[in-house]
Structure 1
Amino acid sequence: MDKVYNVLVLCTGNSARSVMTEGLINVMGKGRFRAYSAGSKPSGRVNPLAIEQLQSIGYDTSGLRSKSWDEFSPSINPDAPQMDFVFTVCDNAAGETCPIWYGAPMTAHWGFPDPGMTGTDAEKRADFARVFRMIMNRVHVFVNLPLDVLDANAIRHEIKAIAAVTGEADNHLQNQWIKS
């Protein structure tokens, strides 16, 4: 049986970027990854526009909630899953002191702009779609890394290099995951 990698995605509020990244890794990883998300100061709710984006790829959003990273800290929750990877997706979370994680997971910062903060409803929705495509592009690179043949140093290099992937996912990639 192939190893399933645990991934924790962190953002300050755990309401949009981290939640969308969690969902995309779970869908695009096709069972190779089990992603979770959390925040240093969770907002208490998942942004409805993030839920809308995840539903567009068929992700079951019924269990999504904004939660604290303490749920994944072994010193607070001894039943927390051991993470293989921890990614921050907002600059605030990247600058904060994170809890100690079981197993010394590999870490990287994949910063994304905070979507939908201003504008009309249509502009906010378009901004969420744009950031979702950006996240999708990086997740596509990540879930296709040959983790079983790369050594630890190469994996560290690759997950950090993914932060430089700036283009939005092309229509072919996006259409591959969007459910009609």
Structure 2
Amino acid sequence: MRIAFGVEVERKLAKDGIRVMNVRYHDVVLAQRFVRNIGNCYKVRFDPTNLGASEILDEGTWRELKAVDGRFEGVSATHWARAAAAVRRERARTEEEAAEVIWAAYSAIDQKNTSARLERGLIEDRWDADRLAQVEDRLTAFIRFREDPEAPPSDPLAMGIPTGTGERQSPRRNRGETGGIGRIEREDGHD
């Protein structure tokens, strides 16, 4: 069926196999090829009516490659794409709900801290570039806040896709060094 009605694509071999529509296909032979030839691209044919198996052109011969997750047997590309779109929509809704929970928690903490500081005559310490970098480094990753929560996302196809580099912006300081997140000082200048 894949020969007559299959879709041929080229995919790069990764350590976890080959992916088509984010369905992973892998076997022992591919694992051995990866160890010997990191980064090779392969022609892959898949049947859009059944993502449970595909074919790979391996050293001049087409051979079947099963999906790692057997539940894909009989699943069509159309149904899988619709399911993935539903998950993306749900994830976007969940991220928006998480943002609301974060803002509610922030408000509650801010109210308590403000009350405590006023009672004790305390002010927060000064901010500088190092402290800002340290605080930013510890902030929750992959939470995006839209300026207008009522407005639709500007790029619905990219919703939920992390865009960070994953690289640390600045080295963390050891506890006890100046510039700690929770450090405060009294108005009279003493810690």
TM-score higher than 0.5 here? no
TM-score where L is the length of structure 1: 0.22
Larger Rg: 2
User: Which one scores higher on RCO, CA 8 angstroms, separation ≥ 6?
Assistant: 1
Give the structure with the higher percent strand.
2
TM-score where L is the length of structure 2: 0.21
